[in-house]
Amino acid sequence: MPYSAQPSILILSSTTEGSGVLGTDILDSLRDEGCDVDLMTIHDDRDDVISVFSREELKISFLGRVRRFTRKKLGLQLDPSRIVSGYCIYYLDEEKPPVNVGIVLDKIKKKYDFVVVLFWHRFLSFSTIRSVDEKLGHVPWAFVAVDFSTLGGGCHFPHDCENWKTGCGNCPAFRSHDANDRTHRNFLYRKSVLQHLNVTLCCNTFMRDNFYSKSPLYAGKPIEISYNLIDEDVFTPKDMIATRRSLNLPDDKFILLFGSQQLYDPKKGMEYLFKALKIFYDSMAENERERVLILSVGRTKDDISQYIPFDYENRGYVAIDVLSNLYSVSNVFVCSSVFDPGPMMLNQALSCGTPVVAFDNGGMLDVKQFADVGYVAKLKDARDLAEGIKHVFTMNRNEYEALRSTCRETALKMTSRHAIASRLLSIYSKMVTN
């Protein structure tokens, strides 16, 4: 295939809501670079996005899911997706995609040079990928790994299971003792598709070194380092005092922010954060303790204020613009995740110029290669996490302001629209020239 300096690109992503906004952000960033780009998703109200279903069709589809769910709950229909609590599997049968392949193919009205895949659930399977690749004439693909969905036989997160290293089967999510269970059959089908697919797997260092480089599915396939795009015009530094006042927050407090969509998720390591806050509290004089305010965003099942010795507020689930403001008014963002391919919040905070204290895993493995943006603590070491918080708390004004500038500069180099679009185009160029 001849090299195209400005390739025509198709992005496939199941959603544009929540973290799925990554799809429209990449769409816009590639268009800024002069590329002809389309995004296909299940549904989006934007006129320049290819929606697989109209709003009316989406309602019908939703009602169908409600009926099936109700029948399963009433015991009138077998629920093949019943899995052990804590596991999440979207791809129960790779040969039966969530959306009919014919519908997807009918939405493709032109040729594309390059296909980028983001979120899969409720939309794509490897059966879809195979059919689209055949229609487009075997063009280059990039699988951008936003999680571990494409690692093995279909689980969203593998937890402690390592069956994906040997082809899955005996899946603990189903309490399976069958080496040829549905996860192994999914694995074999995926492998058969990947053998004929010109694909590059794109992920961060944590995912590459610990997972995708060890998956038999991607043996012989190129794996490139990439990051999630953070819109630098949305997540941007703001006047701290004025923004604090708009949020009814005190001018003179040291504000520590933490958060997640689901704070009760064990992967988020809240137990280590709570221990770190107690250690930090015990190390301080009373007048210092009064200077600290802890903020959190995200859903929680229980009242966690009992575990936080400082003044504390939970803002719940907040809109993107409010989240950006909360980063900007915070003196530090603390990420206690212990098993996470990201999180995106780490990079969002940096884009707002907010220093980060985090464990040495996930996205921090890449960030620390660019610059010192706060503190990198030993994994699952609450005392070291507390040391990181204290490190930022005790900085003098000049040191702290310089650190905020470094955080913003690092974000622009790593995760800005131009940085991510350039990275994808570089990956495409490498694929067609090699």
- Residues contacting residue 90 through CB under 8 Å, at least 6 positions apart: 98, 120, 121, 122, 149, 154, 156
Over 60: is that where the pLDDT of 87 sits?
yes
**89, pLDDT greater than 70:** yes
Work out the pLDDT band at 5, boundaries 50, 70, 90: low
Distance separating alpha carbons of residues 115 and 127, to the nearest angstrom: 15
* Spatial separation of the C-alpha atoms in residues 333 and 347, rounded to whole Å: 10
What pLDDT, on the 0 to 100 scale, is given for residue 90?
A: 72
309: in domain: yes
Higher pLDDT, 1 or 152: 152
Q: Is the pLDDT of residue 81 over 70?
A: no
According to the per-residue pLDDT averaged within each range, which of 294-308, 327-341, 345-359 is highest?
345-359
Q: Looking at the structure, do residues 379 and 423 belong to the same domain, yes or no? A: no
Q: Are residues 83 and 204 in the same domain?
A: yes
Q: Is the pTM of the predicted complex or chain greater than 0.85?
A: yes
Predicted pLDDT at 1: 39
Residue 343 pLDDT: 86
Please state the rounded mean pLDDT for residues 412-428: 97
Looking up residue 201, the CATH number of its domain turns out to be 3.40.50
Does the residue 2 lie in any domain? Answer: no
Q: Which of 264, 266, 258 is nearest to 301 (CA)?
A: 264
Tell me: do 177 and 191 sit in the same domain: yes
* Closest by CA position to 314, among listed 335, 296, 299: 296
CA 432 to CA 9: how far, in whole Å? 14
pLDDT at 109 over 60: yes
With respect to residue 213, please indicate whether it lies within any of the assigned structural domains: yes
Kindly indicate the confidence band of residue 243, based on its pLDDT and cuts at 50, 70 and 90: very high
Return the exposure string of 32-61: e unless at least 16 CB atoms fall within 10 Å of the residue's CB, then b.
eeebebbbbbbbbeeeebbbbbeeeeeeeb
- Does the residue 293 lie in any domain? yes
Tokens 């995200």 -> residue? 298
Residues 264 and 212 occupy one common structural domain: no
CB atoms within 10 A of CB 358: 30
Domain-embedded: residue 235: no
Tens digits of residue pLDDT in 32-66 = 999 999 999 999 999 999 999 987 766 656 544 55
CATH number at residue 373: 3.40.50.2000
68 has a pLDDT exceeding 50: no
Lowest mean pLDDT among 2-6, 235-239, 397-401: 2-6
**pLDDT for res 3:** 42
Q: Contact, 11 vs 400, CB < 8 A?
A: no
Residue 43 belongs to some domain of the structure: yes
pLDDT for residue 431 is more than 60? yes
200-225: pLDDT as tens digits: 999 999 999 999 999 999 999 999 99
Decide if pLDDT at 296 tops 90: yes
pLDDT for residue 85: 75
Decide: residue 108, CB within 10 A, 0-12 exposed, 13-18 middle, 19+ buried: middle
Q: Domain check: are 286 and 222 in the same one?
A: no
In the block, which residue shows the tokens 């990420």?
Answer: 335
Whether the pLDDT of residue 71 is over 80: the answer is: no
Residues 356-414: pLDDT tens digits?
999 999 999 999 999 999 999 999 999 999 999 999 999 999 999 999 999 999 999 99
Check whether 82 has a pLDDT greater than 80: no
Residue 91's pLDDT is: 67
Is residue 202 located within the same domain as residue 285? Answer: no
Closest to 227 measured CA to CA, from 423, 430, 37, 7: 423
Q: Which of 1-5, 243-247, 290-294 has the lowest mean pLDDT?
A: 1-5
Which whole number is the average pLDDT over 329-347?
92
Classify residue 82: in a domain, yes or no: yes
**Domain of 425?**
8-229+417-433
pLDDT digits (tens, 9 = 90+) for 158-197: 888 999 999 999 999 888 899 999 999 999 999 999 999 9
- Are 79 and 160 in the same domain? yes
Pair 170, 317 in one domain: no
389 occurs within a structural domain: yes
**68 CB neighbour count, 10 Å cutoff:** 13
What's the pLDDT at 88? 78
Top pLDDT among 22 and 263 is at 22
Total of domains in the chain: 2
Average pLDDT across the chain, whole number:
90
Give 300's pLDDT tier (boundaries 50, 70, 90).
confident
Regarding whether 265 and 203 lie in a shared domain, the answer is: no
Residue-level pLDDT at 75:
45
**Reduced 3-state DSSP string for the chain:** CCCCCCCEEEEECCCCCHHHHHHHHHHHHHHHCCCEEEEEECCCCCCCCEECCCHHHHHHHHHHHHHHHHHHHCCCCCCCCCCCCCCCECCCCCCCCCCCHHHHHHHCCCCCCEEEECCCCCCCCHHHHHHHHHHHCCCCEEEECCCCCCCCCCECCCCCCCHHHCCCCCCHHHCCCCCCCHHHHHHHHHHHHHCCCCEEEEECHHHHHHCHHHCHHHCCCCEEECCCCCCCCCCCCCCHHHHHHHCCCCCCCEEEEEEEEECCCHHHCHHHHHHHHHHHHHCCCHHHHCCEEEEEEEECCCCCHHHCCCEEEECCCCCHHHHHHHHHHCCEEEECCCCCCCCHHHHHHHHCCCCEEEECCCCHHHHHHHCCCEEEECCCCHHHHHHHHHHHHCCCHHHHHHHHHHHHHHHHHHHCHHHHHHHHHHHHHHHHHC
Same domain, yes or no: 244 and 385 = yes
Q: Which residues contact 46 (CB under 8 A, 6 or more apart)?
A: 16, 24
* Same structural domain, 82 and 203: yes
The whole-number pLDDT of residue 59 equals: 62
In this structure, are 95 and 141 located in the same domain?
A: yes
Q: Which residue has the higher pLDDT, 93 or 128?
A: 128
